Amino acid sequence: MSRAPLVLAALLLALLPAAALGATPKVDLVDVEDEVMCVTCKVPLNIAEGAQPDSQRALIRDLIAQGKTKAQIKQQLVAEYGENVLALPESEGVGVTAYAIPLVLGAIVLGSLALLVPRWRRRPAAGVATGEPAGPADTATDDTLALSDVDRARLDEDLARYDR
Amino acid sequence: MKRLLVPTLAAVVALGLVGLLAYGLLVGAEDDSIEQAVARGNFPPAPSAPLPVLGESATQSVAGLRGKVVVLNFWASWCEPCRAEAPLLERAHKRLTTAGTGTVLGVTYDDSTPASLKFVEDYGMSFPSVRDVGTKLAKRYGTTYVPETFVIDRRGRIVDVFRGPIDQAFIDRALARAQA
Which residues in chain B land under pLDDT 70? 1-2, 20, 23-30
First to last CA, chain B: 69
Residues of B in contact with A73 (CB under 8 A): none
B133 touching chain A per CB within 8 A:
yes
What average pLDDT does the segment A127-141 reach? 51
Tell me whether residues B112 and A81 touch, CB distance under 8 A: yes
B80 touching chain A per CB within 8 A:
yes
Q: Which of B165, B137, B175 is nearest to B49 (CA)?
A: B137
| A24 and A82 belong to one structural domain | yes
Mean pLDDT of chain A: 79
Q: State which residue of chain B sits closest to A54, comparing Cα positions.
A: B78
Query: Can you say how many angstroms the Cα of residue B81 is from the centroid of all Cα atoms in its chain?
Result: 16
ipTM of this predicted structure: 0.81
Using CA atoms, how far residue B170 sits from A6, B117, B128, B138, B164, in Å, is 82, 26, 21, 21, 11
B123 touching chain A per CB within 8 A:
no
pLDDT tier at A149 (50, 70, 90 boundaries)?
Answer: confident
B28 touching chain A per CB within 8 A:
yes
| A39 and A58 belong to one structural domain | yes
Cα A86 to Cα A74: distance, rounded to the nearest angstrom: 8
| A34 and A81 belong to one structural domain | yes
- In this predicted structure, the answer to whether residue A126 has a pLDDT above a threshold of 80 is no
pLDDT at A15: 54
Tell me whether residue A146 is in a domain: no
| Beta bridge partners of residue B130, listed in sequence order | B53, B107
Using CA atoms, how far residue B107 sits from A5, A41, A143, A151, B28, in Å, is 67, 19, 77, 84, 22
Expressed as residue numbers, the domain containing A63 is: 20-88
| A33 and A80 belong to one structural domain | yes
pLDDT at A101: 78
Q: State which residue of chain B sits closest to A109, comparing Cα positions.
A: B9
Tell me whether residue A13 is in a domain: no
| A48 and A96 belong to one structural domain | no
- Report field, pTM of the whole predicted structure over 0.80: no
Cα atoms in the Cβ-side hemisphere of radius 13 Å centred on B162:
19
A153 touching chain B per CB within 8 A:
no
Tell me whether residue A94 is in a domain: yes
Tell me whether residues B135 and A115 touch, CB distance under 8 A: no
Choose the weakest-confidence range: A12-26, A99-113, B48-62.
A12-26
The 10 Å Cβ neighbour count of residue A104 is: 15
pLDDT at B3: 73
Kindly report the backbone phi and psi dihedral angles of residue B35, in degrees, each rounded to the nearest multiple of 5, phi listed first. -60, -45
| A84 and A98 belong to one structural domain | no
Tell me whether residue A9 is in a domain: no
Cα A147 to Cα B1: distance, rounded to the nearest angstrom: 35
A116 touching chain B per CB within 8 A:
no
Q: Which of B5, B77, B133 sits opposite A55 (nearest CB)?
A: B77
Q: Helix B2-28 vs helix A96-122: angle between axes, to the nearest 10 degrees?
A: 170
Residues 158 to 177 of B: which have CB under 8 A from any A CB? Answer: none
Cis ω before B147 (30° cut-off from 0): yes
| A26 and A75 belong to one structural domain | yes
pLDDT tier at A127 (50, 70, 90 boundaries)?
Answer: low
Cα B129 to Cα B82: distance, rounded to the nearest angstrom: 14
Helix (H, G, I), strand (E, B), or coil: what is residue B150? strand
A39 touching chain B per CB within 8 A:
yes
Tell me whether residue A50 is in a domain: yes
Q: Helix B80-99 vs helix B168-179: angle between axes, to the nearest 10 degrees?
A: 40
